[in-house]
Amino acid sequence: MAETRILGIETSCDETAAAVVEDGRHILSNVIASQIELHAQYGGVFPEMASRAHIEAIVPVIQKAMSEAHLGWDDLDGIAVTYGPGLVGSLLVGVNTAKGLAAGRGLPLVGVNHLEAHIYAHWLETGSEGSAPADLTFPLLALIVSGGHTELALMRDHSDYVYLGGTLDDAAGEAFDKVGRLLGLGYPGGPAIERAAEQGDPNLFPLPRAWMEGTYDFSFSGIKTAVARLVQAHGGEPRGRMVADLAASFQAAVVDVLAGKAAAAAEEYQATAILLCGGVSANQTLRTVVRERAAVPVYTPALILCTDNAAMVAACGHHRFLSGVRAGWDLDVEPGLRLT
C-alpha cells in the first residue's frame, strides 16, 4: 500500500505547530513555535495574545513543516487540524488555515480532538526510551495529564473510549503552574517545579492527598491551598531550601494520587498497558512512580511529543481518515470538546 502523508495543524493553546506524518507513525517534520516567552510575563496564557501570536506564526510554521519534510503539496493525502478543546480564538486560527489549504489544494480535511491527539503521540515512532511498541493491544489505559485536563480513559479500540474519571477542579498541569507561581518559579510551573524538586525533600511537608475513594476522579485544589498556607506561614516569599522542599513535597503528592489511580484502573479494567499522555507526562518522577506501581507496561512518549505538537494531531488524523471520517466546510471549533 502506498504511504499516506498527513499534514497536522495544532493551535489549541500556546504552541503554533505543524507536522507531516507518514502512515500515522513516521515523523517527516515536527515544527513547534512556542509562545512561552510571551506568556511568561503574565504568569500564564493570555488568550487574546495567544490568538494573535498564532496568526503571525501559522503560515511560516506550516511552510517550514512542508520544507523540512521535503514534500510538495501534491505529496499530501490530507490535512488534520485540532478543533477542540482549547481557547476559541486560538483554535479558530488553525481551523480556518486548514480549511483554506484543504479548499485551495483539493485535499480532504479531518477535525481532531486534542485530547485524543495526546493519546496518539504513542503511535509515533521515535525510538525514545520507554516509548510504545508498534503493536499495542487494546484495551489500553490512558492517563491524560496536561495544562487543561486530567483524565483517565479506557481505550477499547481506535476511536472507542470509556471515560473513567477526571479532575473536579484544577487540572494536574494547572496545579503545577499555580504552585510554580506561589513558589516564585515563573511560567510554566511544571518543568520549574521538577527542577527545584531535585534538591528538595519530598517528605518534609506531608501535603493532603484527595483520594476521592470509590471513583477515578481527582482534585488538586486542596494541595494547592495547603502550599499557599505554608508559603504564607513562612513569610510569603519562600527561598532556597524551602522552595525545593515545597516543590518536592507538592510533586510527590500529585504523583502519588495520579500513579495510584492509574495503576488501580489498569488492573480493574485489565488494560494491557498504561499510556501516559500530555505535558505533565514529561515529569520523570511521575514516569518512575507509575512504573513502580503498575502491574503492566507503562509507555511514555518522547519529551517533545508530551507537550503540545502537531505530529500527534497528524497521527490521530491518520486513523480518522482510515475509518472514513471527513470534515465538511462547516467544521467549527469546539472549545469544550470532550473525549467520547
Task: Name 144's bridge partners.
Answer: 151, 277
Of residues 97 and 113, the one with the C-beta less far from ligand KG4: 113
Question: CA–CA separation, 108 vs 6, rounded Å?
Answer: 10
Considering CB distances under 5 to 8 angstroms, the limit depending on partner class, which of ligand KG4, Zn ion, none binds residue 190?
A: ligand KG4
β-pair type (150-157, 78-84): unpaired
Is the dihedral angle over the CA atoms 103, 105, 110, 113 positive or is it negative? negative
In whole angstroms, give the CA distance from residue 18 to residue 36: 17
Whole-number minimum distance, CB 281 to ligand KG4, in Å? 8
Length of the chain: 340
CB of 183 to ligand KG4, least distance (A): 13
Query: Look-up: residue for cell 502519588?
Result: 256
Cβ atoms of 146 and 279 within 8 Å: the answer is yes
Q: Among Zn ion, ligand KG4, none, what does residue 10 contact (CB within 5–8 Å per kind)?
A: none
Interaction site with ligand KG4 (CB under 6 A): 13, 146-148, 173, 176-177, 188-191, 194, 278-280, 282-283, 307-308
Report the chain's terminal Cα–Cα distance, integer Å.
Answer: 31
Q: Which is nearer to ligand KG4, 66 or 306 (CB)?
A: 306
- Burial level of 299, CB count in 10 A (0-12/13-18/19+)? buried
- Closer CB to ligand KG4, 89 or 188, in the complex: 188
Residue 115 CB, shortest distance to ligand KG4, in Å, is 8
Could you tell me the smallest distance in angstroms from the CB atom of residue 280 to ligand KG4? 4
**Of Zn ion, ligand KG4, none, which one does residue 282 interact with (CB within 5 to 8 Å by kind)?**
ligand KG4
Residue 242 or 277: which CB sits closer to Zn ion? 277
Query: For residue 139, is the peptide bond before it cis, meaning its omega torsion is within 30 degrees of 0?
Result: yes
Instruction: Please give the grid coordinates belonging to residue 290.
Output: 507509575
Give the distance, in angstroms, between the CA of residue 123 and the centroid of all CA atoms in the same chain: 14
Minimal distance, residue 84 CB to Zn ion, in Å: 12
Contact residues for Zn ion (CB under 5 A)?
A: 146, 308
Given Zn ion, ligand KG4, none, residue 194, with its beta carbon under 5 to 8 Å by kind, binds ligand KG4
Which of residues 245 and 308 has its CB atom nearest to Zn ion in the complex?
308
Nearer to ligand KG4, 67 or 199 (CB): 199
Helix 189-197 to helix 284-293 angle (10° resolution) is: 70
Q: Least CB distance from residue 312 to Zn ion, whole Å? A: 9
Which partner, ligand KG4, Zn ion, none, binds residue 85 by CB below 5 to 8 Å per kind? none
